Amino acid sequence: MLFELIVSFLILFGAAFVLLGSLGLAKLPSFFMRLHGPTKASTLGVGSILLASAVYFSSRGSLSVHEILILVFLFLTAPISALLMARAGIHRELPGDNPRFGDNDRDGDKD
């Protein structure tokens, strides 16, 4: 009973934040602002859904810790995809936040 309460709370909590993330993606006006939605949803939202899964499977028998590994890999990779998208946005000089360019920055950016 207690476990069910915890699990349902975590799932609802996570789902709410994933929903907020997608809402942000749909609603915010510029590319750079939209970037905030998905990177956030994958932290707290997916985090608590995975935690719910861990609690649920641990409560019925054997300890389940796979989810922590999923979380770690997600946290390692999410910032990288966000960084790549943001860099592409800066390169294309997408409107929204008037990126300021440093003097020799763009030439050195061939990596």
Partner 1 sequence: MRRILPQPLLSLVLLVSWLVINNSIHPGSIVMGAIVALVIPWITHRFWEIRAGVKSPVALLGYLGIVVIDIIRANFVVARQVLGPNRALRSQLFEMELDLEGALPVSILAATITLTPGTVSCRISPDQSRLWVHALHADDVAEEIAEIKQRYESRLMRIFGQTDQRTARSSSTPGTES
Site for partner 1, residues 25 to 54, rule: CB under 8 A: 27-30, 32-33, 35-37, 39-40, 43-44, 47
Is 9 one of the binding residues for partner 1 (CB under 8 A)? no
Is 64 one of the binding residues for partner 1 (CB under 8 A)? yes
> Computed over its alpha carbons, how large is the radius of gyration of the chain?
19
Is 89 one of the binding residues for partner 1 (CB under 8 A)? yes
Amino acid of residue 53: S
Least distance to partner 1 from the beta carbon of 4, Å? 22
Give the span between the Cα atoms of 76 and 70, in whole angstroms. 10
Q: How many CB atoms lie within 10 A of CB 40?
A: 18
Least distance to partner 1 from the beta carbon of 100, Å? 7
Give the span between the Cα atoms of 17 and 54, in whole angstroms. 19
